[in-house]
Amino acid sequence: MLKRELIRHSCYKLMFYLGILDCLSIVTSCLVTGYLAIDGRFPCPHYRDFEYVLTTFACGIWCSVCVTCIILAFNRCIDLWRNKHLLALFYHHRTYYWIGLCVLYLTLVTIYVKGLFFSPVAYAWFFDPFFGMTNLDVDRTEFFSVVHSVNNIGVIVVLSLLNTFLVASIYWKTRKSNSNYLSLIQRRVCSELVPIHNVNFRSQLKLSLFAPLTSLLLLSTCTCSSSLLQRF
C-alpha cells in the first residue's frame, strides 16, 4: 500500500489511515478484552477509571473509522465519474485535510462520548456497568450514549446511499463501455473497498440492532457489488 504508485492515490492514503486505526483498536478489542475475560471481574474501582478512559478513546477510533469509510466511499464515487471540480477536493495534499477532519472527529468523540465497561457475563463491552445484573433496581436509561448511537445510525444511512450510488455507477459504466471503462487501478481499489465497507456495514447494523430486513438489503447490496467487480 505504501508503494509510490499506490500511495499517490487519495484512496490509498485513506485506507492507510484506516489501517492505523485498526491497529490501535486491537489494544482494546483484543488485548485488554482478553485479559479482562480471563480475570473475570465486574467493573470495580480498581479497573473502572482505566476502562472508562480507554473505551472513550476506543469509541473515538470506531467513530473515526466510520467517517473515514464515508469519505472513502465518496472518494470512489468521485473517481468513477471524473468530475474535475469534485476531483479537486482530493487533489494531492488535500487528502490529508480530510484525514485531519477524521482525527478531529476522533478527538471530539473521545471527549464527549460515554465510556464502556467490560462485562464478564457476556464477555463484551457495554455502556451499562450493571449489564447482566437483573436483580438491581437501576435506571439504565442514563447509560445510553447519544453520540455513539447517532454516529452508528447516521453512518448506516449515509454509507447505504453512497454504496448504492457506487454500485449503480459501476454497473452503468461497465454496461456502457463493455467493462473496459474502468482502469486497472480503479478496479483494484473497488475490489478492496467492498470487504472494507461490508465489514463496517455489518458492525454498524449489529450495534444499532436494526431489523432483519435491513440486514438482508445490506447483504444483497454487498453481493451485488461483489458480482459486478468480478466482471472486471
Alpha helices in the chain (DSSP H): 4-7, 10-26, 33-39, 45-81, 84-87, 94-112, 146-176, 184-208, 212-230
pLDDT tens digits, 30-82: 888 888 888 877 666 666 788 888 899 999 999 999 999 899 889 988 888 87
Contacts of range 15-21, beta carbons closer than 8 Å, 24 or more positions apart: 15/72, 15/192, 15/196, 17/68, 17/99, 17/102, 18/65, 18/68, 18/69, 18/72, 18/196, 21/61, 21/64, 21/65, 21/68
What is the pLDDT confidence band of residue 101, given thresholds at 50, 70 and 90?
very high
| Domains of the chain, each with CATH number or no CATH | 7-230 (1.20.1070.10)
Identify the band that residue 187 occupies on the pLDDT scale cut at 50, 70 and 90.
low
Q: Please tell me the pTM assigned to this model.
A: 0.74
Please report the sign of the dihedral spanned by the C-alpha atoms of residue 79, residue 84, residue 89, residue 90. positive
Q: 14 burial class (0-12, 13-18, 19+ CB within 10 angstroms)?
A: buried
pLDDT band at 156 (very low <50, low <70, confident <90, very high): confident
Buried b or exposed e, range 95-109, using 16+ CB within 10 angstroms: beebbeebeebbeeb
